[in-house]
Amino acid sequence: MVKKLIINADDLGFSLGVNKAILEANNKGFLSHASLMANTEYFNHAIEEIIPQCKNLKVGVHVNLTCAKALFPTNVVTEKGFLNNTFVSLLFKIKSKKVLESLEKEIEMQILKIKNAGIEISHIDGHEHVHIIPSINKIVRKLAKKHRISRIREINEGFFESWKFNGKTASFSNILKLFLLKFLSLFNDNSGDTGFYSMLNTCEINGFNLFQFLKNSRKYETVEVMLHPALSDLDSPEYYQTLHPRFVSFFQNSSRKSEFDLCFDERFKEYEIL
């Protein structure tokens, strides 16, 4: 049975609604970790108004290569200075020396921006899981070692075990996503220390599936639960106009509020929250 949990909110700094949700979920709920985007519009708001008010929130780097303005000015994987990529475009992009150097510079600048803001970085992961792409994973691991970041998110959940508890509510896209990420993870240097929940219900995590899994899983003692909480009513239509449509639909999905509500579930008291 799972005994210890890392309850992590992705996308800190992405929007006002995300930031406010993380603050409340940490102070009044069980949220213990958050992954911070260094190059998004609400980064400064997160640094100045959210993190200082949080209760022992552990903050990591949410490596962002798929949206927002690049921090490395001569990055070759940008369009007019913006990181307008997708996971698939980054996966299949020819990794020339110049491309790899740009990726490494961008990722390190994101790490340094968070470090220079006075944050003790607890972990590193990737927006839309770009850090699982093997060539990018090598860079992330190199920089994690350089900057003494102890934990890197691994997508290591067993497909059949996850299917047993999450398959009935899994979308076809999430099934494909888990297969792809599990395959790519074979080429990465994984430790296997911390389990992960749950790619099959990504962005649609529900309490029924989650607690059935936690009670019955035998693979890991410690599991990271990845959530995307947001209070989307706090985000303005004007802000949405600056985003790619896929992110607008993400924010407006009712599951953002559902995952926020999950952060307050009293059943988390049965576990040691790290």
Is residue 251 very low, low, confident or very high in pLDDT (cuts 50, 70, 90)?
A: confident
Separation between Cα atoms, residue 64 and residue 170, nearest integer Å: 25
Of residues 45 and 251, which shows the higher confidence score? 45
Q: Is the pLDDT of residue 110 over 90?
A: yes
Contact between 129 and 155 under an 8 Å Cβ cutoff? The reply is yes
Q: In the predicted model, what is the mean pLDDT of residues 146-152?
A: 97
Separation between Cα atoms, residue 210 and residue 213, nearest integer Å: 5
Residues 111-125 have pLDDT tens digits of: 999 999 999 999 999
Map tokens 């529900």 to a residue.
206
Residue 162: give the domain boundaries.
4-273
Tokens of 31: 């949220």
Phi, psi (degrees; rounded to nearest 5) at 176? -60, -40
Q: How many structural domains comprise the chain?
A: 1
> What's the pLDDT at 263?
98
pTM, to two decimals: 0.96
Q: Is the pLDDT of residue 1 over 80?
A: no
Residues 16-31 have pLDDT tens digits of: 999 999 999 999 999 9
Query: Mean pLDDT, the chain, as a whole number?
Result: 96
Peptide bond into 198 cis (omega under 30): yes
> What's the pLDDT at 229?
97
Residue 144: give its domain's CATH number: 3.20.20.370
Residues 62-83 have pLDDT tens digits of: 999 999 999 999 999 999 899 9
Tokens of 127: 């927006």
Residues 194-233 have pLDDT tens digits of: 999 989 999 999 999 999 999 999 889 999 999 999 999 9
